[in-house]
Structure 1
Amino acid sequence: MLTTTLTNLKLKNPIMLAAGIMGTTGGSLKRIARCGAGAVVTKSIGIEPKYGHPNPSMVKLECGYLNAMGLPNPSYKVFQPEIDEARHGGVPVIASIFGGGASEFTEIAGAIDADAFELNVSCPHAQGYGAEIGTDPVLVEEITKAVKKATDAPVWVKLTPNVTDIKQIGLAAQRGGADAVVAINTVRGMAIDIESGYPILGNRFGGLSGAAIKPVAIKAVHDLYTVLDIPVIGCGGISKWKDAVEFIMAGARAVQVGSAVG
């Protein structure tokens, strides 16, 4: 049996949809759930509507995908119906949320009804958000603690690999009361069109995902597993069942799949 319990959520299997473009609508989340996912994670949702970065915002490379979406979202104020529809898929729905500080995170967590929250403190290409917060253990602990006070739902913290020591960020999340950590988000990267001499992405740089980052993610999961008392959820470069097994062998309790289904 593949059934597992993760932060008090019962999953029919340990394979989840990662936060990303497939989690933009309740309909797409429901379809992924009915295709067999054990749980689904929404696109990251913030306080106010954001249009994101200019196109091109996602490009396919030989080694994976490079994206700089810029956290586009309609605002949490209009997103609850999408979560409600996604729940018809019959699996837990985790809301990925972001903010510029503890007050924004808590406002969202206090207003949305979801089965769990995933704190995006790891997006590498959004000024004032994501990794600009997630590289500071003091801020990670502060935000996690605040969100735990704002909701009774489990709180997961998604970590950035773009740090000197991811263990210190994971420990900060644990001190803040996180129920689990997710590792990893994308790796900072850039690609240039040699014909034009300009960066391929409209934002110039972005985050690399796909097969190329799997060894980085495996190492991060293993490092976190050795120091944390809370579950580690693996994410990054999973495209086949053997990848998922590798993450579980490294210490992951469950895994998330993003680029392979996007």
Structure 2
Amino acid sequence: MAYSSDSVTPNLSIQFAGLHLQTPLVLLSGCVGFGEEYTRIEGWDNHDIGAVILKGTTLEPRMGNAPHRVYETPSGMLNAIGLQNPGARYVVDHILPQLPHKETQFWANANGTSPEEYAEVARIFDDSPVTAIEINISCPNVKEGGVHFGNNPVMAARVVEAMRPMTKKPLITKLSPNTADIAETARMVIEAGTDGLSVINTLVGMAVDIEQRSPVIANISGGLSGPAIKPVALWKIHQTRAVAAKHNIPILGQGGITSAKDAIEFAIVGSDAIGLGTGLFYDPLLCHKLLEEMRDYLRRHTMNSYSDLVGTLVTSAE
């Protein structure tokens, strides 16, 4: 689309899985609690964000893992919270009614230990004000000996198939970078009925206390997030983009975004929306800064909207 005038403000609103988001910025699950944490920060504005993804929620309440559960690493963070949450029914009945739904959208993040549990969580959230449900397929399947759903395309698809009949809300499947073939997983969950993809979830890592000669994280391993994983995230989005575009499925790109430059890179490789997580710990007021700098970039490159930038990567083969 040709740019018409220097006075025109580029449009940062987007369409994602049938939803209209006021900006492409989405706050990621686990980084803002159940959506209420950032309301206490002076200068915070919910109108800067397109959606908030609530903390990972299971069918029954969970206490989570023993401490230590979070550890800062060079250019990143390890976490193994263990899905501490009060259960889906409590979230719907007691937490969602308190959230500012007129200011931005809120999406659920569904977790389970079997396809049946995922399906029941979807049923509970279907009758609620959330506008979409993200599926965390990085959970272990207890019926299959603890194998993670996200590491097996067939099991990932089974989760989506189980949830699809239980809700009319958009389903957004969060893909694991730890799978052997992320594009194949994307293809199978799309065929199973997902409406969008979140790319990527955290990488698996660990840290060691050299004095105690023991793992820093009580769970031994944890999910690595932050700038350290950004190159991996960009590559996985690039790998996923072709199959997603073929089926007109949008991608929520995420993994180490802490600046407008990062966000623009993610858009260029194919992120229809931008997920912010660990970057919010670096700078709680990051969102407004990103939007202003992204508008400046679009002006300089004669683009009228964020969507004009998405998927514009030029390779030597082209």
Q: TM-score, normalized by length of structure 2?
A: 0.77
Question: Structure 1, unaligned stretches of length 5 or more?
Answer: none
Match in the other structure for 1:243: 262
Deviation digits for residues 7-28 of structure 1, max 9, x if unmatched? 1111111011011141x23422
Match in the other structure for 2:5: none
1:255 maps to amino acid? I
Cα separation, partners in 2 of 1:132 and 1:35, compared to 1, 3 Å: same
Deviation digits for residues 54-100 of structure 1, max 9, x if unmatched? 11100111221011111111100100132232243521111001011
Match in the other structure for 1:198: 214
Q: Contact 1:65/1:259 (CA < 8 Å) preserved in 2?
A: yes
Instruction: Please tell me whether residue 171 in structure 1 is matched to residue 187 in structure 2.
Output: yes
Which of 17, 41, 44 is the matching residue for 2:53?
Answer: 41
Secondary structure of the structure 2 residue equivalent to 1:79: helix
Match in the other structure for 2:293: none
Secondary structure of the structure 1 residue equivalent to 2:48: coil
- Equivalent positions of 1:65-104 (< 5 A) are 65-80=77-92, 81-88=94-101, 90-104=103-117
d(CA) in 2 for partners of 1:51, 1:21: 17
Query: How far 1:6 moved relative to its partner?
Result: 0.5
Match in the other structure for 1:260: 279
Q: Contact 1:30/1:87 (CA < 8 Å) preserved in 2?
A: no
d(CA) in 1 for partners of 2:17, 2:155: 23
Q: Contact 1:26/1:83 (CA < 8 Å) preserved in 2?
A: no
Q: Which has the larger radius of gyration?
A: 2
d(CA) in 2 for partners of 1:193, 1:224: 37
Match in the other structure for 2:134: 118
Q: Contact 1:45/1:75 (CA < 8 Å) preserved in 2?
A: yes
Match in the other structure for 1:59: 71
d(CA) in 1 for partners of 2:218, 2:191: 38
Deviation digits for residues 136-190 of structure 1, max 9, x if unmatched? 1111112112211110000000011001111111111101110001011110001
Instruction: Please tell me whether residue 217 in structure 1 is matched to residue 230 in structure 2.
Output: no
Cα separation, partners in 2 of 1:26 and 1:251, compared to 1, 3 Å: closer
d(CA) in 2 for partners of 1:30, 1:133: 34
Which of 163, 168, 171 is the matching residue for 1:147?
Answer: 163
d(CA) in 1 for partners of 2:109, 2:61: 15
Deviation digits for residues 197-247 of structure 1, max 9, x if unmatched? 111111111111000000000011111001222111101101111111101
Deviation digits for residues 117-147 of structure 1, max 9, x if unmatched? 0000125xx6749971111111111211221
d(CA) in 2 for partners of 1:133, 1:88: 31
Instruction: Please tell me whether residue 13 in structure 1 is matched to residue 32 in structure 2.
Output: no
2:113 maps to amino acid? G
Query: How many residues matched?
Result: 259
d(CA) in 2 for partners of 1:246, 1:53: 35
Query: How far 1:116 moved relative to its partner?
Result: 0.3
Secondary structure of the structure 1 residue equivalent to 2:180: coil
Which of 188, 196, 200 is the matching residue for 1:184?
Answer: 200
Which of 163, 169, 173 is the matching residue for 1:157?
Answer: 173
Q: Contact 1:42/1:93 (CA < 8 Å) preserved in 2?
A: yes
d(CA) in 1 for partners of 2:269, 2:22: 21
